[in-house]
Chains A and B, each alone.
Chain A
């Protein structure tokens, strides 16, 4: 079982390398945005696997925190792509 979890961890990190390539060499900005979101999901799954390996519950809060931060980052990036400014002074101007 331990070897299975280590192999899963290796696969998650290899996938993270693949998406990292897409972040660096992405032809367009939305490609990089989706790749960054995917890196967030892979970080969450890697932390869950590490939490199983270490047999501790302390990483559950970290998983929720990374999910929230990744959500806010994705929302702000997509708003920047769509509208050009992230925080506007007056909404219906």
Chain B
């Protein structure tokens, strides 16, 4: 059955970027306000699921040519590497360091190593959720 869903596809092309930008905002808002890597990853997963709903598996695979299983591995490596990097400085496991830096265009910004751990969590959540969705939705 060939159906014509122009409205859904046109809306998705716009709304995908709104959801993705909001997920990036919620990812960077993580340390002091609600948010963080897990929720940001879930929102990115939601955006990709919206693409999968409006288009199909083949088109999304062509538009986002990532291997999501490898993405999960990279995320785990990033998170564990950040967590275990602290033991080389003679402090307990999972200790995080932060300092204030003056960046151009941002002004004085406090940079934390916990954010690299959060980026790892983000990649793990996106990779595993999209792998699950692709392998469930792909059989027919």
Contacts and interface: CB of A to CB of B under 8 A. Distances in A.
Contacts, number: 59
Interface string A20-41: 0000000000000000000000
Contacts of A65: 26, 39, 43
A40 to B, nearest CB: 14
A62 B56 CA distance: 29
Q: Is chain B's binding surface mostly helix, strand, loop or mixed? A: helix
Contacts of B22: 64, 68
A88 B34 contact: no
A86 B57 CA distance: 11
Interface residues of B, number: 28
Q: Is chain A's binding surface mostly helix, strand, loop or mixed? A: helix
Interface of B: 1-3, 8, 15, 19, 22, 26, 29, 33-35, 39, 43, 46, 49-50, 52-53, 55-59, 133, 137-138, 140
19 contacts: A62-B34, A65-B26, A65-B39, A68-B22, A72-B46, A72-B49, A72-B50, A72-B53, A76-B49, A83-B1, A86-B53, A86-B137, A87-B52, A87-B53, A87-B57, A88-B57, A89-B138, A90-B57, A91-B55
